[in-house]
Chains A and B, each alone.
Chain A
């Protein structure tokens, strides 16, 4: 049996390959099917168990995902990154706030606390609005809220380049968007955007949040859009775009979909189950092939 030809892999098998050639590992002749999927197929076996190389590769992926969950957000460096977005027309640097969850353990066990803004954050936002001193009914079209969620890595890697792309696409539109200063939240869940959007008096709130990390995606960024944010809304009121990262949904494509939703939300004055993302319909139509290699004649 030939040794497996791994064309597509997301973990460093090469450095561990030496374990594979000592005669006790049965390799799988179908392992080159990995070109069709990131699933861990064709791993081979020692008896009926995982070969050492694959066992250790899995442990490394798991370690990366675990670290992504517990890795604290470097809020100052993120704030610096976000201050340097050229297309953000306001001079205010990002506003930093916390949820009511004080640490990671309480964040994980008490999602209710992660959804609520801490009193200190509320004061900061109220002060900011007072200093603006001219709150009208719709002062801002959009508030962008960056939340650590379950993967600070997702936010650290992807928030700035995505926002940059979004704003550059948005700038090409006919109507100018008046955008609130970016808010950065530690130990937050999606719904905390409702509190923030309401305090900033924004028509729409866009929450960018670190999604729960999988083994092949420790830095996946999620986007949630809510019209007329206010405390107490539920998930049926939101639209979501998931898996924003270079190896998932690329920034430009994600921004295109986000702008579609932003524009439609503004026209229809709503988000949620009644606002459908139609940007992918043509893609699905082209994917109706059912013939696979197992049944090919």
Chain B
């Protein structure tokens, strides 16, 4: 099925082996593609690949599967779920025309919502490769994707945060202390989500109860999640644990997902189990997925594709299960995949754009490790850009420093910064709670109260009395 792609520049002919090769070589430079040996050999070859890719008709992506239909269930999902009627609006376009179409004044949020099931991840990845950062921001901002459980995430003009109260030994008071800190800084509307230090069913249930107790006692319109393996969460549900959201890390190829220990059938079972609990109050989106460029290469499951194309394919997996939240953990995987602040920034914008275009409620863990060439200034930049692009949610963690996972992400303070400079509000139900509790004095200017809410003062004073 696959054909070869040539491009003439002056007297020189550039030859690309197949569509996968062309896609990889058209990708802006990043270390993971170099590691995989699929990167363009020169800046000129990259520019030429982008020009050739711009000429590829969108229809080609339906006929020339990058990973064969027979051998990969993610490819089958993508092609089987493709909506021909929705595709009719764009079926005459090339990748280059598609960029113009997306940027045109004609294409409104309503048009994008109508067309989204006609767009495949490969089409989204291809067009992102020939877009500038501002294009990725401009179009993503037009994609409105909302989801709901106990509050509503992703409304235009809103930015939510995942309160991430991790602790290296899962100490319940250590976790509660970080939760309180986050809530009092107006964070935690996307989810209160813990990465457990000890990952087993018993521990997950203990942490689920901890968060559920706090959410119920203070009547917080938010949801909780323990980020453990999907099969563990299914066991937790069977054991009667208070599960709001089912978590799983997902990738864009069947082999990546097998290396994570699940397949699409597992996710279906988990979603059915979580839905049966009927714990949502304003919506039924019960899944939480994390993604990130480089996971397929890391699992040796990338089939020769570039890491951004693999990543976009993961969003087809996500949208099948109507998630409440999806986020790319963009800088977590390390400099062998995204080397520095520049590569992390570009990847974060690409991931957010591709996901939103496909209709996924996308957030971002704006983050870096200490062996990457990045610092807080790079995070400030990406956070601001994603805020402008209409990102659904970011992480909120005490002082940016995750003491369990040993990396830096966005802090409670950072979330308030971006809300104030851009006027982005928390989820409406949560904002109402913040006002009611007198945590925020003034929600339109994001001014925090100087006094402790009486509901939280009580346990604190009780604690101080004990000492």
From B35, B398, B448, B464, A39 is in contact (CB under 8 Å) with B398
Interface residues of A in 32-55 (CB under 8 A from B): 32-34, 36-43, 45, 48-50, 54
Picked from B334, B407, B413, the residue with its CB within 8 Å of the CB of A48 is B413
Bound CA span A30–B35, Å: 47
**Which A residue's beta carbon lies closest to that of B210?**
A290
Contact B202 A284 (CB under 8 A): yes
Q: Is the CB of A41 within 8 A of B370?
A: no
Q: Which residues of B sit under 8 angstroms from A212, Cβ to Cβ? A: 334, 369-371, 406
Query: Do residues A39 and B336 form an inter-chain contact, with CB atoms below 8 A?
Result: no
With contacts A213-B406, A215-B401 taken as known, whether A294 is within 8 angstroms of B214 at the C-beta atoms is yes
What A residues does B165 contact at CB under 8 A? 39
B337 → A minimal CB distance (Å): 9
Inter-subunit contact A217/B406 (CB<8 Å): yes
Cβ A215 vs Cβ B408 within 8 A:
yes
**Chain A nearest CB: distance from B30 CB in Å?**
10
- Whether the Cβ atoms of A290 and B209 lie closer than 8 Å is yes
Contact assessment for A37 and B210 in the assembled complex, using a CB-CB cutoff below 8 Å:
no
- CB B177 to nearest CB in A, in angstroms, measures 4
Q: Among B122-130, B167-175, B222-230, B302-310, which stretch is in contact with chain A?
A: B167-175
Residue pair A58, B370 in contact (C-beta under 8 Å): no
Assuming A39-B403, A41-B398, is B177 touching A26 (CB within 8 A)? no
A292 surroundings in chain B (CB, below 8 A):
172-173, 175-176, 210, 213-214
Q: Enumerate B171-212 residues with CB–CB distance to A below 8 Å.
A: 171-181, 184, 198, 200, 202-203, 206, 209-210
- Tell me the bound Cα distance from A112 to B298 in angstroms: 11
Most buried by A among B334, B399, B450: B399
B132 interface contact, C-beta 8 A: no
In whole angstroms, how far apart are the Cα atoms of A108 and B371 in the complex? Answer: 8
In the complex formed, the residue of A with least CB distance to B450 is: A26
- In the complex, A110 has a CB within 8 A of chain B: yes
In the complex, B376 has a CB within 8 A of chain A: yes
| B23-63 contact mask (Cβ, 8 Å, vs A): 1 or 0 | 00000000100110000000000000000000000000000
Does B217 contact A287, Cβ atoms closer than 8 Å? no
Q: How far is the CA of A288 from the CA of B173 in the complex (A)?
A: 13
Segment at the B interface, from A65-73, A125-133, A178-186, A260-268: A65-73
Roughly how many angstroms separate A214 CA and B184 CA in the complex, as a whole number? 26
Q: Count CB-based A-B contacts (< 8 Å).
A: 183
Whole-angstrom distance between the Cβ of B198 and the nearest chain A Cβ: 6
Q: Which has the most chain B C-beta neighbours within 10 Å: A29, A66, A150?
A: A29
Interface string of A90-129 (1 = CB under 8 A from B): 0000000000000000001111100000000000000000
Alpha-carbon distance between A295 and B369 when the two chains are bound, in angstroms: 34
Q: Which residue of B lies closest to A10 (CB)?
A: B403
Q: Are B460 and A30 in contact (CB under 8 A)?
A: yes
Residue numbers in B under 8 Å from A215 (CB-CB): 370, 401, 403, 406, 408
How far, in Å, is B286 (CB) from chain A's closest CB? 23
Is A61 part of the contact surface with B, judged by Cβ < 8 Å?
A: yes
Tell me if A216 counts as interface (CB < 8 A to partner B): yes
Q: What A residues does B217 contact at CB under 8 A?
A: 294-295
Chain A residues near B430: list those with CB within 8 A: none
Given A41-B178, A284-B198, A290-B206, A111-B459 contact (CB < 8 Å): no
Interfacial chain B residues near A243, Cβ < 8 Å: 168
Q: Is the CB of B450 within 8 A of A1?
A: yes
CB distance from A63 to the nearest CB of B (A): 10
A296 in contact with B459 (CB, 8 Å)? yes
Task: Mark interface residues in A73-95 (1 if CB within 8 Å of B CB, else 0).
Answer: 00000000000000000000000
Minimum CB distance partner of A51 in chain B = B413
Contact A62:B370 (CB < 8 A) given known A41-B178, A49-B413, A292-B176: yes
Tell me, in angstroms, the Cα distance from A61 to B462 when the chains sit together. 33
The CA-CA distance from A126 to B411 in the complex, in Å, is 52
Q: Are B213 and A216 in contact (CB under 8 A)?
A: no
Does A291 sit within 8 A of B, measured CB to CB? Answer: yes
Is B323 positioned at the interface, with any CB of A under 8 Å from its CB? no
Which A residues are in CB contact (< 8 Å) with B452?
29-30
**C-alpha spacing A10/B137, complex, angstroms:** 39
Q: Does B288 contact A (CB under 8 A)?
A: no
Residues from chain A with a CB closer than 8 A to the CB of B206 are 288, 290
- Greatest chain A CB density within 10 A among B168, B175, B335, B401 is at B401
Q: Judge whether A28 is part of the interface by a CB distance below 8 angstroms.
A: yes
Q: Verify B420–A109 contact, CB threshold 8 A.
A: no
**Contacts of B370 on A, CB cut-off 8 Å?**
62, 65-66, 68-69, 212-215
Cβ-defined contact, A62 with B408, below 8 A:
yes
Q: Find the B residue at minimum CB distance from A42.
A: B181
* Min distance, Cβ B411 to any Cβ of chain A, angstroms: 8
Residues of B within 8 A of A217 (CB): 406
Asked whether A216 lies within 8 Å of B403 as measured between CB atoms, the reply is yes
Looking across the interface, which residue of chain B has its beta carbon closest to that of A70? B371
CB distance from A231 to the nearest CB of B (A): 16
- Given that A110-B35, A293-B463 are known contacts, is A39 also in contact with B401, CB under 8 Å in the complex? yes
Chain A to chain B: the 9 pairs with minimum beta-carbon distance, closest first? A40-B399, A214-B406, A37-B174, A292-B176, A33-B177, A48-B416, A41-B181, A65-B370, A36-B173
Sampled A-B contacts (26; CB under 8 Å): A26-B450, A28-B181, A30-B184, A33-B181, A37-B174, A39-B167, A39-B174, A39-B398, A39-B403, A40-B411, A43-B399, A48-B416, A62-B376, A108-B371, A109-B339, A213-B406, A214-B401, A215-B408, A220-B406, A288-B202, A288-B206, A292-B172, A292-B213, A292-B214, A295-B213, A296-B462
B interface residues, Cβ below 8 angstroms from A: 31, 34-35, 165-181, 184, 198, 200, 202-203, 206, 209-210, 213-214, 217-218, 334-336, 339, 369-371, 375-376, 397-403, 405-408, 411, 413, 416-417, 420, 446-448, 450, 452, 456, 459-460, 462-464
A-B contacts besides A28-B184, A43-B399, A109-B335, 12 pairs, CB < 8 Å = A37-B167, A39-B399, A48-B417, A50-B399, A50-B413, A108-B336, A111-B35, A213-B406, A214-B407, A217-B406, A292-B175, A293-B460
